[in-house]
Amino acid sequence: MREHRTSPSARAYALLSPYAGLPVIGSLGVVCFGSVEHPLGMAALTMGDLDLAVRHLRAAVQANLALSRIAGVDPVIGEELRASVQTGLRCCYRPR
């Protein structure tokens, strides 16, 4: 067990955990790599904690799907996101 606590995955998990509810954004918002929950889930999987990995990966799917629901609240922002953000495990913002 000690080996897992000092592994790169355990370190990444510890560093990313405080940001679990946020998206991974590169540069000045030019690219979005989806929810921080995804790399947390992959780190948990690598550490061998399957239950924790499933919880994080399910949360990642929900967070990434939330982008599509924005259009129902604000059609202008929703259209901009639809036109410029491609979601999945990763999303990419391409401003017009």
Residues 93, 12: Cα–Cα separation, whole Å: 25
DSSP secondary structure letter of residue 33? E
Q: Which residues contact 2 (CB under 8 A, 6 or more apart)?
A: none
Nearest Cα to 92, choosing from 24, 26, 32? 32
pTM: predicted TM-score of the whole model, two decimal places: 0.68
Digit-by-digit pLDDT tens for the chain (96 residues) are 344 567 999 999 999 999 998 888 776 666 667 789 999 999 999 999 999 999 999 999 888 787 667 767 888 877 776 666 555 445 555 555
Q: What tokens appear for 84 in the block?
A: 């410029």
Give residue limits of the domains in the chain: 2-93
Angle at 83 between CA 62 and CA 22, to 5 degrees: 35
Q: What tokens appear for 82 in the block?
A: 């639809």
Amino acid at 49: D
